[in-house]
Amino acid sequence: MLGKLNKKQVIPVISIKNVQKIFPSKQGQLRAVDDVNLEIQEGEIFGVIGYSGAGKSTLIRMLNGLELPTNGTVTVAGRVISKIKGAELRKARQEISMIFQHFNLLWSRTVSENIAFPLEIAGIKDPERQKRVSELIKLVGLEGRENAYPSQLSGGQKQRVGIARALANNPKVLLCDEATSALDPQTTDSILELLVDINKRLGLTIVLITHEMHVIRKICHQVAVMEGGKVVELGQVLDVFKNPQQAITKRFVQQVTEPEETKETAEHLIERYRSGQIVQLTFVGGSAEQPVITNVIRNNNVTVNILQGKISQTQSGSYGTLFIHIDGNEADVNKAVDYIRSQQVGVEVVTNEQ
């Protein structure tokens, strides 16, 4: 009994239990969120991915009370957000900040004044407010742009202002609503790197919604895949990449692991290499860092050509795909393929010897 009492209980910073959100429509009731259950731990970067209409935006808006669930409970940082109102909800929202796809900055205010705005609302006096603004400008890399107006900033700089403003009141949770969708790929990566840095420095819990698997792959620890208002798949990002279960998840994973030209490339390779086997290899975690190809050549009487490949990093490890052509007599080629399989590498034969 004493052992049970002494054992530390891990309490999630966000708990979503049996949550539904139903909207009336001309066709009847629309279940935007349908019986969702999620737990998000403190300090975690949690991604929610889905196509338009999946319910992800409605779900994230219930985390700060912008939407109320039709059924179920939403608890954030110890408060049941789905039940509180008025002053208590306003106080809770100081601990649950949000950044948006289109920045939502005040265009008549400078960078410093935008960041100071939530501090003014919270009643923070001027000297302390200015000190906090200076800290945040440095944190998000906007030194020298303090007196610029939003119209004078790039998209990435605007989002950095949005992030700094969201951090002003030292929140426990940061919600990101398609925060990089309006940005070019290079700027997207710089914003994602900033979010990872903030997560590590401040221990901040981050929840983001997106339709881009690149965003999930780059920064998230866990991911929930939504379709038709339901969470259809949930797990550690590397595990989901390694073994996606649902068709929609497989399509998202292919966004990152298989470029659009992969099918055309495979068809071209089949025409080009009439002998041997073209094999697609999938590497996960430690296997991505092992000299598998070197060992295949060294231990088997075959030749190996690397045709196309890509290795991506997730927060939990590496994930990659590689197309190779293995040539030699049939027995040696099959032996080489069997060896690769024994190294915890996924193997899919694209074409057999003809």
C-alpha distances out from residue 245 to 234, 312, 351, Å = 10, 20, 25
Instruction: For residue 4, tell me if it sits in a domain.
Output: no
**How far is Cα 330 from Cα 334, in angstroms, rounded to an integer?**
6
Is 336 in the same domain as 205? no
Give the residue numbers spanning the domain of 347. Answer: 262-351
**How far is Cα 211 from Cα 221, in angstroms, rounded to an integer?**
16
Residue that terminates a domain, selected from 230, 256, 282:
256
Is 201 in the same domain as 173? yes
C-alpha distances out from residue 230 to 35, 72, 225, 234, Å = 7, 14, 8, 11
Is 205 in the same domain as 290? no
CATH of the domain at 292: 3.30.70.260
Instruction: For residue 299, tell me if it sits in a domain.
Output: yes
Residue that terminates a domain, selected from 239, 256, 273:
256
Is 43 in the same domain as 124? yes
Is 122 in the same domain as 148? yes
Instruction: For residue 321, tell me if it sits in a domain.
Output: yes
Instruction: For residue 31, tell me if it sits in a domain.
Output: yes
Is 219 in the same domain as 139? yes
**How far is Cα 154 from Cα 297, in angstroms, rounded to an integer?**
50
Is 55 in the same domain as 187? yes
Instruction: For residue 7, tell me if it sits in a domain.
Output: no
How many structural domains comprise the chain? Answer: 2
Residue that terminates a domain, selected from 210, 229, 256:
256
Q: Of 225, 168, 215, give the one whose Cα is nearest residue 195.
A: 215
pLDDT of res. 37: 97
CATH of the domain at 208: 3.40.50.300
Is 38 in the same domain as 137? yes
The amino acid sitting at 149 is Y
Instruction: For residue 194, tell me if it sits in a domain.
Output: yes
Is 128 in the same domain as 194? yes
Q: Of 225, 171, 174, give the one whose Cα is nearest residue 196.
A: 174
Instruction: For residue 103, tell me if it sits in a domain.
Output: yes
pLDDT of res. 242: 79
Instruction: For residue 99, tell me if it sits in a domain.
Output: yes
The pLDDT tens digits along the chain (354 residues) read 444 444 455 679 999 999 999 998 888 889 999 999 999 999 999 999 999 999 999 999 999 999 999 999 999 999 999 899 998 988 888 899 999 888 899 999 999 999 999 999 888 998 899 999 999 999 999 999 999 999 999 999 999 999 999 999 999 999 999 999 889 999 999 999 999 999 999 999 999 999 999 899 899 999 999 999 999 999 999 888 878 899 999 888 887 766 555 555 555 666 666 677 888 887 776 555 567 888 888 888 888 888 777 777 777 777 777 888 888 888 888 888 888 888 877 788 876 444
